[in-house]
Amino acid sequence: MVRRFVRFLLCLVGVAVIGGGVFYFITAPNPLPESHWANLGAPDLKNGEMVFWTGGCVSCHAAPGSEGDAKLTLSGGLALKSPFGTFHVPNISPDEQAGIGTWTLADFGNAMKRGVAKNGEHLYPSFPYNSYARMSDKDINDLFGYLKTLPKSVNVAPPHELPFPFNIRLALGGWKFLYFNDEPRVALAANVDDQVKRGQYLVEGAGHCGECHTPRDQLGGFEAGKWLAGAPNPEGEGRIPDITPGSKAVGSWSQEDIANYLETGFTPDFDSAGGSMAEVQRNLAHAPKPELEAIAAYLKAVPNR
Amino acid sequence: MRLKAIAATVLVAGLGVGIAIAAEDGTHDARAALMKKIGGATGAMAAMAKGEKPFDAEVVKASLTTISETAKVFPDQFKPGTEKGDKAASPKIWEDPADFKARAMKLSEDAGKILATPPTDVATLGAAMKTLGANCGGCHEKFRIKTD
């Protein structure tokens, strides 16, 4: 009797070990191999600068309260409050001690496209790699080149303040298993024109618009079927609007109206962008108008929610 | 021709004042009515700057006057005691009333300065609009909440 019981226990232990092993294997950090990043050539800094602005890096990584050219010193330090605790945005200036000065293109690319840090750990998705994963290798190469031209900062941001269990980085593997992918967010018609496709690339990737404009579930993943349908403001009061084609906020706007809003901050009746969108618009205004028109074309093509 | 333009502007401005007076002070409706006046004046100038309407110096002056006068009285809609009841007004308005008032005054003064040597053509109008427009985002970013 005892022998059978012991054998049963051993089987359970075996199953647990195998199960744990499988779970660990599925949720382990999954960077792209070094070879993936090997032959991208010299970066195009002009394109890198445009990617920098559409990616909105300054909004999180510039020192809080900085303005104008000072924003280009990406010293970090901003405190991002969330339902999971407070994230402290890191220094990504080219400083070798405090920033990412020692990072290779592979290190940077794996952070952007796989959410894996230089030391091999999972990164928290408050850094929107879940969107950036859709960026091309070329754009990432160019962006990295541009970032290296920016001023150095010696600022060291404090570690994130996250209560248990959110402070367990390993658990992010589970989050990624549930929510991380680089598939298109919406299925567009097969015959959409190139302008809409470009808009899709910009909005779903570097623009990371969905990170604010899409509602999330309890674990912080996007709610299925609600792409860009609006959400509570993660930074406090009010709402982030629904920007799908039939919405109250932009339903009556033409494609031209949307592009002009992104360029100038003015709505069709000359109201003006506010809250967090004011800075997003200022960043996007650096992009050439055709890019903004592409974003507008995509917004007119996404499913109504 | 000019008389028609002046009459139209006065009528629109008058309507705006009417709405503003009708809504009680310190409410969302009163505040929004003032802002819509500024929006309307901005729109009138933008139409000319974009070439959608012919340049009309009188309309430009009337619009600048509207902006200058409306921005000046805008902070009066946010006296202490009016903090509740308007979801679009951020509590920051009453936490930092000096900054809020300063921004409204800056818009008013910018419009006033431009009015002193008013734009004479589309190019100078465009430049003027850039100066004025630079004020909008900063105030909205800090003090306005997007409701839906």
- Measured between CA atoms, how close is A170 to chain B, in angstroms? 36
- Measured between CA atoms, how close is A17 to chain B, in angstroms? 50
- Whether residue A199 is predicted with pLDDT greater than 60 in this model: the reply is yes
Q: Work out the pLDDT band at B43, boundaries 50, 70, 90.
A: very high
DSSP A77: -
Q: Which of 1.10.760, 1.10.8, 1.10.287, 2.120.10 is the CATH number of A194-301?
A: 1.10.760
- Whether residue B147 is predicted with pLDDT greater than 60 in this model: the reply is yes
For residue A46, the model assigns a pLDDT of 98
Distance CA A60, CA A75 (A): 10
For residue A194, the model assigns a pLDDT of 97
- Whether residue B56 is predicted with pLDDT greater than 70 in this model: the reply is yes
CB contact under 8 A, B39 and A271: yes
Q: CB B54: neighbour CB atoms within 10 A?
A: 11
- Whether residue A53 is predicted with pLDDT greater than 90 in this model: the reply is yes
**pLDDT tens-place string over residues B63-118:** 999 999 999 999 999 999 999 999 999 999 999 999 999 999 999 999 999 999 99
Which residues partner with A122 through β-bridges? Answer: A116
Residues of A in contact with B141 (CB under 8 A): 273-276, 278-279
DSSP A95: -
Which of helix, strand or coil describes residue A186? coil
pTM of structure = 0.90
For residue B4, the model assigns a pLDDT of 72
For residue B18, the model assigns a pLDDT of 58
**pLDDT tens-place string over residues A139-173:** 999 999 999 999 999 999 999 999 999 999 989 99
Q: Look over chain B and give the mean of its residue pLDDT values, rounded to a whole number.
A: 90
| φ and ψ at residue A48, rounded to 5 degrees | -55, -40
Distance CA A229, CA B45 (A): 34
Q: What domains appear along chain B, each with residue ranges and CATH number?
A: 2-143 (1.20.120.10)
Name the residue in chain B with its Cα closest to that of A276.
B141
What value of ipTM does the predicted structure carry?
0.86
Under 8 Å between Cβ of B106 and B135: yes
For residue B34, the model assigns a pLDDT of 97
For residue B8, the model assigns a pLDDT of 60
For residue B9, the model assigns a pLDDT of 64
CB contact under 8 A, B147 and A239: yes
Q: Which residues of B touch A (CB under 8 A)?
A: 35-36, 38-40, 42-43, 46, 87-88, 90, 133, 136-138, 140-141, 143-148
What tokens appear for B99 in the block?
């900054």
Three-state SS for chain B is: CHHHHHHHHHHHHHHHHHHHHHCCCCCHHHHHHHHHHHHHHHHHHHHHHCCCCCCCHHHHHHHHHHHHHHHHHHHHHHCCCCCCCCCCECCHHHHCHHHHHHHHHHHHHHHHHHHHCCCCCHHHHHHHHHHHHHHHHHHHHHHECCCC
- The percentage of residues in chain B with a pLDDT greater than 90, rounded to a whole number, is 82
If one compares B20 and A254, the residue with the highest pLDDT of the two is A254
